[in-house]
Homo-oligomer: A and B are copies of this chain.
Amino acid sequence: MYPYRQLFDFTQEVFLHIGCPADDARLAAEVLLSADLRGVDSHGVARLSGYVRLWEAGRINPKPNIRVVHETPSTATVDGDGGLGLVVAPRAMAIAKQKAEQVGSGWVSVKNSNHFGIAGYHAMMALEDDMIGIAMTNASPLVAPTFSTDRMLGTNPIAVAVPAKHQPPFVADLATAAAANGKLEILQRKEKKAPSGWIQTKEGHNSTNPNELKDGGALLPLGSDRDHGSHKGYALASVVDILSAVLSGANYGPWVPPFVAFLPVADNLPGEGIGHFLGAMRVDAFRPAEEFKQHMDNWIGTFRRANAVSGERAVLIPGDPEREMEEVRLIQGIPLLPPVERDLEALAQRFDIKL
């Protein structure tokens, strides 16, 4: 177990060492570690060495000039200048919130960025100002559209955060694939089979082999197959891709650059970097905030009190598992798997900093 503070300080130091300004290094560490706190281990400090390798490959600009390149009172397009998505996305969300402050809502499409950690972090930035926050991003292609053998879309997450009064906030944060890649990685390490409906072979047949992607297979969209609505998961992932990248001028579909630095970036790219889409709506742009938050308490309480299936735990509100995990890990610390520990120790040695 590693205390949060220890991993935070270390991560911040690493970002300082690759050339990030102090504010950016602190922000990037906070965003990255929020994944570990919330139990989304695949998107947290386990990726730190990946960001460093992208920087080494010249694919991350540690001192980006993040700027608005097009705007209206309620919208903006932001050029991330190749910066860390961990920094670009919160800056873009701040612009969305500013616009919401001024005209009720703000919507920012971002190009020329990189992986932004967990979508939920950015959506939750809206909560403190009684706003509803929305965050999505495209990602490296791993998911096949319904009826296709080809990897055309990322696991393209959608997050929506909604404030309540006495209840904790509602925070949905979901990949639009049947299962995110991180879950496959866990099965690979445990040498277990995947449930049917998560992956297909390169020919498009159902597979339970968690290593199938290495052999040209693909993840399946939310819904798994046509009978169970995979065309809906495919459509949702497509909407995320379009709003994040076609709208901003980032790369989309099969052209989204891979996170891993050893994979080459495709030629003739249609855009710049990867794309995000961020939104903020002031609750009181629709009805008085107090009234809304009281009804959210009623909504949350009503769903929490719904009858549970016998033998299952109680009905959960989106955001409950992650918040409970955060409470535990802030006290007990964050567990790291041996390969992640080794990665961090290598970074510590390389930059001559203490883990």
A residues at B contact (CB < 8 Å): 70-77, 103-105, 107, 109, 132, 145-150, 152, 158, 160, 162, 170, 172, 174-176, 178-179, 195, 197-198, 203-205, 222-224, 227-229, 231-236, 238-239, 241-243, 246-249, 252-254, 270-271, 281-283, 285-287, 291-292, 295-296, 298-299, 302-303, 306-310, 312-316, 318
Kindly identify which residue among B224, B283, B316 contacts A228, using a CB–CB cutoff of 8 Å: B224
A-B contact pairs, 12 of them (CB 8 A): A71-B285, A74-B104, A103-B103, A147-B315, A152-B306, A172-B239, A174-B229, A174-B231, A176-B232, A179-B229, A222-B232, A223-B223
Kindly identify which residue among B70, B307, B312 contacts A150, using a CB–CB cutoff of 8 Å: B307
Q: How far is the CA of A162 from the CA of B179 in the complex (A)?
A: 27
Kindly identify which residue among B179, B232, B241, B246 contacts A174, using a CB–CB cutoff of 8 Å: B232
Q: A74-B74, A105-B105 are in contact. Are A222 and B231 (CB under 8 A)?
A: no
Kindly identify which residue among B178, B282, B286 contacts A248, using a CB–CB cutoff of 8 Å: B286
List, in ascending order, chain B residues with CB within 8 A of A283's CB.
Answer: 247
Kindly identify which residue among B162, B179, B243, B310 contacts A203, using a CB–CB cutoff of 8 Å: B310
A314: nearest chain-B partner, CB-CB: B147
List, in ascending order, chain B residues with CB within 8 A of A270's CB.
Answer: 295, 298
Q: How far is the CA of A253 from the CA of B301 in the complex (A)?
A: 11
Kindly identify which residue among B104, B158, B246 contacts A72, using a CB–CB cutoff of 8 Å: B104
Q: A74-B103, A197-B228 are in contact. Are A249 and B312 (CB under 8 A)?
A: no
A145-B316, A148-B306, A222-B223 given; name 12 further pairs at CB < 8 Å: A71-B104, A74-B105, A103-B103, A105-B107, A132-B243, A147-B315, A149-B306, A150-B307, A170-B242, A178-B228, A223-B223, A247-B283
List, in ascending order, chain B residues with CB within 8 A of A172's CB.
Answer: 235-236, 238-239
List, in ascending order, chain B residues with CB within 8 A of A228's CB.
Answer: 178-179, 195, 197-198, 223-224, 228
Q: A174-B235, A235-B318 are in contact. Are A253 and B302 (CB under 8 A)?
A: yes
List, in ascending order, chain B residues with CB within 8 A of A205's CB.
Answer: 309
Taking a contact as CB atoms under 8 Å apart, the answer to whether B229 and A308 are in contact is no
User: Which interface residue of A73, A232, A299 has the most chain B CB atoms within 10 A?
Assistant: A232
Taking a contact as CB atoms under 8 Å apart, the answer to whether A246 and B281 are in contact is no
Q: Which 3 pairs, one residue from A and one from B, show the smallest C-beta to C-beta distance?
A: A72-B104, A204-B309, A172-B235
Taking a contact as CB atoms under 8 Å apart, the answer to whether A299 and B253 are in contact is yes
Q: How far is the CA of A104 from the CA of B147 in the complex (A)?
A: 36
List, in ascending order, chain B residues with CB within 8 A of A232's CB.
Answer: 174-176, 222
Taking a contact as CB atoms under 8 Å apart, the answer to whether B292 and A246 are in contact is yes
List, in ascending order, chain B residues with CB within 8 A of A224's CB.
Answer: 224, 228
User: Which interface residue of A71, A222, A254, A303 has the most chain B CB atoms within 10 A?
Assistant: A303
A150: nearest chain-B partner, CB-CB: B306
List, in ascending order, chain B residues with CB within 8 A of A76's CB.
Answer: 286
List, in ascending order, chain B residues with CB within 8 A of A132's CB.
Answer: 243, 247
A76: nearest chain-B partner, CB-CB: B286
